[in-house]
A and B are shown apart, each in its own frame.
Chain A
Amino acid sequence: MSPRNTKKISACLGVAAATAALGAGYSSVAGGQPLFGAVAGFFIGLLLGAFELYFVQTSAGVWLRRLPLALFIVVATLIWALLIFVSIYVATPYLLDIDVFPLELDSRDANALVFAFGLALLLTFFLRIQSLIGGRVLFNFLVGRYHKPSREDRVFMFLDIADSTSLSEQFGDRKIQALIGRFFFDIARPIAEHGGETYRYIGDEVVVSWPMVKAIEDARCVRCVLDVQKLLDRKSKEYRQLFGVVPRFRVGMHGGPVVIGEVGDSRRAIVYFGETVSRAVALQGACKRVDRDFLVSADLMDRLTLGEGFSSSFLGPVELFPDGATEDAYALSHGASDGGPLAD
């Protein structure tokens, strides 16, 4: 069993245990049978957890995630409601050998339903909306983690579509924007699987960051880029069919200390601030000048242990800023059409 699968199963069971406790608690407070509440809670947690982790978040759920958000919320909520209904009225009575049909709802049952559906509605809404804010951002805001600015070591990746301006002149701006949208949708998975936190999108660019320790473990930040390229190679036919062109991308990557803080009043955000970020941006900008697709600062490279299958070349100092500031950098191949012995 893969470690990812183990993680998913334990997440499902963890959620199921929590909802079982919640169900038992609710039914004993509301004067019902704690056993029924616990079992129903267990089924609800298990089914909903499995639905989220094995359907919504996987490739099977792509069609669902591509829907407009409101439709996504409605469809997912309806499925949740169905699963809750099945848990309460089919699975639990079957297990406990109780007859519930024909249904006779008294006000206590109605209360239990309002409780279960209300809670589920809150949760699914929360899950869907989370994507608008970003994984841990909401949590960090709620606990006030960056309410006072703090310093952390992080790796930043700036990835943009090469020549998007000339592409949009050639193919039309809306078409290229659709391509960019598709590309960023597709690469979200490999990025998340390598532990990258998509911080934000800026035009034709995506900003991803990792805590330093996580990024350099197995050189995940670099592997992430290779997997993005692999995905693009695999889907090149699809892109050519849909948009007439397969996008190329450029990456600048650098790591070091940044200051993280909350900003804003009516509009709030968590921002990263410091030289590390501007150096990562500048490295990406330098890609074009030195005609490479993937630049990593020597600082970061020194901390990475690259396995086989990487080809890197040391470029020496690369000019980053107009004032002449430079940074030692490596150019890595993200594997685009360089056909190694293992190329498929």
Chain B
Amino acid sequence: MHTLCRTGLPMGDRLLIKSRSTSAIVVCIAASLASGLLGLAYTALIGTDKTFGAIAGVSIAFPIVAFEVFVVRGRVGEALRRLPLWAITLLSTIVWMLSIAAGILVITPAVLNMEVYPEWYDSSTFAQDATFSLVVALLINFWVRIHSLVGGRVLFYFLIGRYHRPLREQQVFMFVDFLDARGLSNRLGDIRAQSLISAVFFDIDAIIGEAGGEIHRYIGDELVVTWPFQRATKNARCIECALGIAEVLRANTAHYRDAYGEVPRLRIALHGGPVVVSEIGDDRREIVYFGDTINTTARLRGLAKKIQRGLVVSAALLEHMRLPDGVRAEDMGAFELSGKAQATRVYAVHGATS
């Protein structure tokens, strides 16, 4: 662990965690305020007490958002997130409904120093308020769950139609796959091999998110991560991400060995350049990347196996970054990767411990 400090990784890690909890608090407050405004607007519209609406809005949203951000998304929630989606959805729906009832019937009257049922507040008004809150809550809950299935920014990009017409962008691609997936599946049987692959992908998910990467695809035993070029090269975040993945794997070695009798090994290829990004499909829609940059990254990953290096980076990407302290790049020579005449120079990158 001490040697790792020189890479700056644990340091960065701490910073990320701190900034994450700060931003979680900001999210809580902002969402509560937005919900307060919504409550205000709703009560103004139906002509009941606006103060009541605003306070109910805040008191409904705060516990819900805190639950989502600190419990589900937090460290405690890891076990929760491993549950089937229906279980999480059910659990959070119960929490949400309780918050709604408590917000309207208990907290808001207490804050306003009212009786629980003032004269104007009969059961039909409660039914109406609760229905409204529930519809809004369900919509948002649904959005949150869908988000994980569609992928971080993709849902947003679809809604604003950003790639409705093909767009050219600079992107960095990271291909991660298992060194010996066929061997794993021969030794463990295909179902247990798939469980191991799922476990590894689950474990490295957080570090990818923290490095600002977007998981674009899972393809069999392969994972594709993308970044906008600037974001990936700033502070060499894509390299930090790859080394972080290696670190997570190392930290979990004993666990994988106990559970599966195997220590999985990954290889990672990083490359960046221009791609065309576009929406595609009709009743199945996706955002796809198209262009030479992706083919080159795929071939780079094949090369990693051939030259027996865990992490390879193209010169085209590496020259845009300053490597963190203690991380070194090994010149592997030039290879024909892009299918075009000119060769691509390739580096193997080593963290301080590897």
| Chain A positions near chain B (C-beta within 8 angstroms) | 30, 57, 65, 68-71, 73, 107-108, 110-111, 114-115, 118-119, 121-122, 125-126, 129, 131-135, 137-138, 141-144, 147-151, 164-165, 168, 173-174, 176-178, 180-181, 184-185, 188-189, 192, 198-204, 257, 259, 261-269, 271-275, 277-278
- The answer on a CB contact under 8 Å between A184 and B131 is no
Neighbour of A142 across the interface among B85, B125, B132, CB < 8 A: B85
- The answer on a CB contact under 8 Å between A118 and B276 is no
- Within 196-229 of B, Cβ neighbours of A (below 8 Å) are at 197-198, 201-202, 205-206, 209, 214-215, 217-221
Chain B nearest CB from A53 CB (Å) reads 13
- The answer on a CB contact under 8 Å between B202 and A204 is no
Chain B nearest CB from A192 CB (Å) reads 6
Chain B nearest CB from A281 CB (Å) reads 9
Neighbour of B194 across the interface among A111, A114, A149, CB < 8 A: A149
Q: Mark B182-198, 1 if CB is under 8 A from A, else 0.
A: 10010000110111011
> Complex formed: what's the CA distance from A69 to B127 in Å?
33
B33-41, B288-296, B308-316 - interface stretch: B288-296
Neighbour of A263 across the interface among B124, B139, B218, CB < 8 A: B218
**A–B pairs, 28, beta carbons within 8 Å:** A69-B161, A70-B159, A70-B161, A111-B128, A114-B131, A118-B131, A121-B135, A125-B139, A132-B286, A133-B150, A142-B89, A144-B86, A149-B191, A151-B190, A164-B290, A177-B276, A178-B166, A180-B290, A198-B284, A203-B294, A257-B190, A264-B205, A267-B205, A269-B217, A271-B218, A271-B220, A273-B185, A273-B220
Neighbour of B282 across the interface among A125, A131, A180, A203, CB < 8 A: A131
Q: What A residues does B201 contact at CB under 8 A?
A: 263-265
Q: What A residues does B158 contact at CB under 8 A?
A: 68-70, 132
- The answer on a CB contact under 8 Å between A273 and B161 is no
> Complex formed: what's the CA distance from A117 to B295 in Å?
47
Q: What B residues does A189 contact at CB under 8 A?
A: 282
Query: Looking at chain A's contact residues, is the secondary structure mostly helix, strand, loop, or mixed?
Result: helix
Q: What B residues does A173 contact at CB under 8 A?
A: 166, 168, 276, 290-291
- The answer on a CB contact under 8 Å between A178 and B202 is no
User: Which chain A residue lies CB-closest to B189?
Assistant: A259
Q: What B residues does A273 contact at CB under 8 A?
A: 185, 190, 193-194, 197, 220-221
Neighbour of A266 across the interface among B46, B205, B283, CB < 8 A: B205
- The answer on a CB contact under 8 Å between A118 and B135 is yes
Q: What A residues does B161 contact at CB under 8 A?
A: 68-71
> Complex formed: what's the CA distance from A318 to B161 in Å?
43
- The answer on a CB contact under 8 Å between B198 and A107 is no
Q: What A residues does B209 contact at CB under 8 A?
A: 266
B13-21, B107-115, B141-149, B238-246 - interface stretch: B141-149
- The answer on a CB contact under 8 Å between B288 and A202 is yes
> Complex formed: what's the CA distance from A108 to B46 in Å?
12
Q: A132-B286, A142-B89 in contact; A111/B131 too (CB < 8 A)?
A: yes
> Complex formed: what's the CA distance from A261 to B164 in Å?
31
Q: What B residues does A177 contact at CB under 8 A?
A: 166, 276, 278, 290
Chain A nearest CB from B183 CB (Å) reads 12
Q: What B residues does A180 contact at CB under 8 A?
A: 278, 280, 290
- The answer on a CB contact under 8 Å between B198 and A261 is yes
Chain B nearest CB from A166 CB (Å) reads 10
> Complex formed: what's the CA distance from A180 to B44 in Å?
50
Q: What B residues does A142 contact at CB under 8 A?
A: 85-86, 89
Q: How many contacts between A and B, using CB within 8 angstroms?
A: 219
- The answer to whether the Cβ of B234 comes within 8 Å of any Cβ in the partner chain is no
- The answer on a CB contact under 8 Å between A30 and B281 is no
Q: A132-B150, A184-B281, A264-B218 in contact; A111/B124 too (CB < 8 A)?
A: yes
| Chain B positions near chain A (C-beta within 8 angstroms) | 46, 81, 84-87, 89, 124-125, 127-128, 131-132, 135, 138-139, 142, 146, 148-152, 154-155, 158-161, 164-168, 182, 185, 190-191, 193-195, 197-198, 201-202, 205-206, 209, 214-215, 217-221, 276, 278-286, 288-292, 294-295, 339
Q: What B residues does A133 contact at CB under 8 A?
A: 146, 149-150
Neighbour of A122 across the interface among B139, B164, B198, CB < 8 A: B139
Q: A144-B86, A173-B291, A261-B194 in contact; A110/B46 too (CB < 8 A)?
A: yes
Q: A111-B128, A118-B135, A184-B280 in contact; A262/B198 too (CB < 8 A)?
A: yes
Q: A121-B139, A273-B221 in contact; A200/B286 too (CB < 8 A)?
A: yes
> Complex formed: what's the CA distance from A73 to B282 in Å?
14
- The answer on a CB contact under 8 Å between A69 and B168 is no
> Complex formed: what's the CA distance from A131 to B161 in Å?
14
- The answer on a CB contact under 8 Å between B280 and A201 is yes
Neighbour of B195 across the interface among A149, A164, A178, A200, CB < 8 A: A149
Q: What B residues does A30 contact at CB under 8 A?
A: 124, 127
Chain B nearest CB from A84 CB (Å) reads 15
* Among B150, B194, B286: residue with most chain A CB under 10 A: B194
Q: Beyond the given A110-B128, A268-B148, could you list 10 further A-B residue pairs with CB under 8 A, ordered by the A residue number?
A: A65-B282, A111-B131, A121-B139, A141-B85, A144-B86, A174-B168, A259-B193, A264-B218, A265-B202, A265-B205
Q: What B residues does A263 contact at CB under 8 A?
A: 197-198, 201-202, 218
- The answer on a CB contact under 8 Å between A201 and B85 is no
* CB-based closest 3 A-B pairs: A144-B84, A68-B161, A188-B282
User: Which chain A residue lies CB-closest to B209?
Assistant: A266
- The answer on a CB contact under 8 Å between B198 and A137 is no
Neighbour of A269 across the interface among B149, B221, B291, CB < 8 A: B149
Q: What A residues does B276 contact at CB under 8 A?
A: 173-174, 177
> Complex formed: what's the CA distance from A269 to B202 in Å?
11
Q: A174-B166, A263-B202 in contact; A181/B146 too (CB < 8 A)?
A: no
> Complex formed: what's the CA distance from A202 to B219 in Å?
10
> Complex formed: what's the CA distance from A69 to B285 in Å?
10
User: Which chain B residue lies CB-closest to A198?
Assistant: B284
Neighbour of A147 across the interface among B84, B154, B167, CB < 8 A: B84
User: Which chain A residue lies CB-closest to B225?
Assistant: A267
> Complex formed: what's the CA distance from A278 to B278 in Å?
26
> Complex formed: what's the CA distance from A200 to B284 in Å?
8
Chain B nearest CB from A112 CB (Å) reads 10
